[in-house]
Chain A
Amino acid sequence: MKAGLKLCLSKSPLHSRHLRLSEEVILNPDELSLKRLRDVVIGRDTTFSRTRAMALLLASDFPNKHRDFEVVLDDETESPEIRYVAAINLGKVNTPVAMEILIKNSQVRDERVLMGVMKALGRIGDKIALDAIFSAREYAKGLAVSQAKFAATLITHRLGLEEGELPIPQTSDHLEVQPYAARPFLITRAGDTDAEFCLRSLADQPFGIEFSEHPMYQARCGRNAWMILLNRNFVGDNTVRMLAERRAFPGVVALRSEGTGLYSVSYLLLTSPTSDRDVINILVYRTNGELVFSGTAQVKESCAEFSILALRRPGAFAVKMEGTLEAGRLEIHTALSTAFVQIKKREPSKERS
């Protein structure tokens, strides 16, 4: 709580310019700054950024903060974007009550708001949330449909359920890596300090799984750095057998911000068994549900030999990763990426004057 409050109550001229503190604040600073913050969140006070106020509220341990986000999410006179932000923040609050509020709002009609609700539910939802998502999918429109489908995919993998269909990319969807055009990129075991910092960064980005502190792997390509984090449930000796038997959400890849050094979850690794009991499908999604890499793993006793390639999409680099997973330990044998995009980025259309 203090982090958020300290920011509001900072003596820095800058903060006081943003959140000018009234004389009342001096009488009871904590309570009134909370009142001010909540007024900003619900749009009653417009002298401060609402998304920023929401971030401060989320970072605080103010009681019942889910109710403030609920007020915004429920209010049909609010812009869809701010309601979307409220929904995502409720997902980050990640309590049973927050989930109930999201489920209650899974019937919302606005496409963008529903997108936020589906996205948040996908990240923290359970079986009850899954039923709400299936129900919402029936009448969802536009972008909310794909978000609902992905939310269901995420939950079924996290819970190991067999419901819902999965995309099976064709070989022709893959971007082949031409050795002459590709360069190796480095994947190494992360040091303890980096690993701890990454885990702390991700503490407010719940995806319904607990990350293992050891091992973590760092990947570097150009100026970008990523961390590969494994689900704590999939780092034991029987990991490979479990992956061959049920759908799973064995880990994520988090991107390190060049500016702040903080990590944010960038890719979600999902696996599913196939009709061949020794082959596992690997699907790698962006957090918005776009499938970007796929591959397979060949199971040999307690070891899985995997190969992952990038899929064709605008702005894609050809990437190839091969290695083994055994007892929760990754060994990367090949990590190649082209230096330039292989599929042209999408060109925005010119604005009509």
Chain B
Amino acid sequence: MRNIYATVSLGIGRIQRFVIPPGHEVIDDDAEFHHLINEFSVPNVGIDVFLVRLIMGDASGKSPVNGSCDKDGKDDSGCVIGIEDNQDFGPFIGQVLAHEVGHYLGLRHVIELSTITLLNIPESVIGILDDNLMFPESPNGGQLTGGQGGEMKLHCSMRAGCQT
């Protein structure tokens, strides 16, 4: 994830690890994801990323687009990654993490799978789009554009880098 974000001059701050009580190993659906992020939170300025064992359905992670920086407010603050299924794809878990946090920082998918099917998008175009981190499937090319980097830098959770 650090490597992916570094390509658009974004660093990752301090990562702290916490443990939530049993009972949240599997996320059944969006409603359960919503309940999880509304029940637990770390009171700091970091983004809450919940690592669960499995997420049911066809998503490897879930995140709001342009997530909230107010963890006590109405809007969703937190994202979730299913690690067990992604483990089988080893190196790609970092990509899933970068993808979901990318959503949180304001990025949308470069195209939706339904659009690909609906408009019968040619393979040549898909081949270009799936190089991008925000292609809706992983593994993908894991790349970010300068524009996407700029958009992420506008998010409220961004902090100035350390002075050297």
Contact = CB atoms under 8 A, between A and B. Distances in A.
A, B assembled together: yes
B91 interface: no
A166 interface: no
Interface in A9-50: 11-15, 17-18, 46-47, 49-50
B140 interface: yes
A11 B126 CA distance: 11
A287 B52 CA distance: 18
A288 B62 contact: no
Interface string B56-79: 111010111100001111111000
Nearest to A56: B58
Interface stretch (B6-14, B40-48, B147-155): B40-48
B54 A347 contact: no
B115 interface: no
A143 B23 contact: yes
Interface string B122-139: 010011001000010101
Interface residues of A, number: 64
A79 interface: yes
Given A81-B26, A345-B40, A51 B82 contact: yes
A142 B53 CA distance: 19
Contacts of A238: none
Contact of B31 (A287, A317, A351): A287
Contact of B123 (A11, A222, A337, A346): A11
A255 B34 contact: yes
Contact of A51 (B22, B85, B117): B85
Contacts of A264: 29-31
A169 interface: no
Contacts of B22: 142-143
The number of chain B residues touching the other chain, given as a range, is 35 or more
Interface in A283-321: 286-288, 290, 313-315, 317
B110 interface: no
A46 B31 contact: no
A88 interface: yes
Given A112-B25, A347-B41, A350-B17, A258 B64 contact: yes
Contacts of A14: 126, 130, 135, 137, 140
B115 to A, nearest CB: 12
Contacts of B65: 258-259
A339 interface: yes
A110 B130 CA distance: 41
B11 to A, nearest CB: 22
A341 B71 CA distance: 9
A347 B42 CA distance: 6
Interface of B: 16-20, 22-23, 25-26, 28-32, 34-35, 38-43, 53-58, 60, 62-65, 70-76, 82, 84-86, 88-89, 103, 116-117, 123, 126-127, 130, 135, 137, 139-140
Q: Which 5 A-B pairs have the closest CB atoms?
A: A222-B74, A348-B18, A266-B31, A264-B29, A351-B17
Given A12-B126, A255-B30, 7 more contacts: A52-B85, A257-B30, A345-B41, A346-B39, A347-B43, A348-B20, A348-B42
